């Protein structure tokens, strides 16, 4: 079966790739485009390591078919820093030591970015429930939650 040709906007740049019809967006990003920042932890949508934003919506890339990306706008972890400036979430994760092995970190940062877009001032509980779709086995989540809440506070201060 011949591959399908897909065009999309990925991290603010026009992108195109070839994919099998049954291939996931996760595979297309990692294998087709070499964007390996998005990780594969389970391929059943349960761990959040493959979190990306498609047309403004937080989704697990393993549950999106690659052809579905046609014409859409996609943000991956690679698109969060701009130039040589880290995204505030990335900076706060580093300061709070909110990562140990780091494999879940891209997924968490993308998911947290989506949270802060939707809710700039989340409570601890709202943050924990929003991020309940992202598994971390190393940290027990404590420092991750602190980093996200601190980013929200930092964003508020900068906006003033």
Q: Judged by CB under 8 A, does residue 103 bind other proteins?
A: yes
Q: 9: burial class by Cβ within 10 Å (0-12, 13-18, 19+)?
A: middle
Report the distance separating Cα 4 and Cα 38, nearest Å.
Answer: 22
Site string for other proteins, 57-76 (x = CB under 8 A): -------------------x
Q: Are residues 116 and 155 in contact, defined by beta-carbon separation less than 8 angstroms?
A: yes
Q: Judged by CB under 8 A, does residue 118 bind other proteins?
A: no
Binders of other proteins in range 2-31 (CB under 8 A): 20, 30-31
Report the distance separating Cα 88 and Cα 150, nearest Å.
Answer: 10
Among 28, 34, 35, 80, residue whose Cα is nearest residue 53: 80
Q: Judged by CB under 8 A, does residue 105 bind other proteins?
A: yes
Among 5, 16, 71, 97, binds other proteins (CB under 8 A): 97
Closer CB to other proteins, 5 or 22, in the complex: 22
Q: Judged by CB under 8 A, does residue 88 bind other proteins?
A: no
SS3 123: coil
36-62 burial by CB neighbour count: b if 16+ within 10 A, else e?
A: ebbbbbebeeebbbbbbbbeeebbbbb
Among 104, 113, 114, 152, binds other proteins (CB under 8 A): 104
- Minimum CB–partner distance for residue 13 and other proteins (Å): 16
Report the distance separating Cα 18 and Cα 2, nearest Å.
Answer: 9
Site string for other proteins, 120-149 (x = CB under 8 A): ----xx-xxx-xxxxxxxxxxxxxxxx---
Contacts with other proteins, residue ranges (CB under 8 A): 20, 30-31, 34, 36-44, 46-47, 49, 76-78, 80-81, 86, 90, 93-97, 99-106, 109, 124-125, 127-129, 131-146
């Amino acid at each position: 079966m011949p591959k399908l040709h897909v065009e999309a906007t990925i991290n603010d740049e026009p992108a195109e790739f070839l994919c099998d019809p049954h291939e996931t967006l996760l595979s297309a990003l990692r294998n087709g485009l070499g964007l390996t920042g998005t990780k594969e932890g389970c391929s059943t949508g349960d761990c959040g390591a493959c979190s990306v934003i498609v047309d403004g919506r937080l989704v697990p890339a393993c549950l999106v078919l690659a052809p579905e990306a046609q014409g859409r706008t996609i943000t991956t972890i690679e698109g969060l820093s701009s130039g040589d400036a880290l995204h505030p979430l990335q900076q706060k994760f580093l300061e709070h030591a909110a990562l140990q092995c780091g494999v879940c970190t891209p997924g968490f940062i993308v998911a947290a970015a989506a949270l802060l877009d939707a809710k700039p001032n989340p409570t601890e509980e709202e943050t924990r429930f929003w991020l309940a779709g992202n598994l971390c086995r190393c940290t027990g989540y404590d420092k991750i939650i602190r980093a996200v809440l601190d980013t929200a506070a930092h964003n508020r201060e900068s906006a003033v």
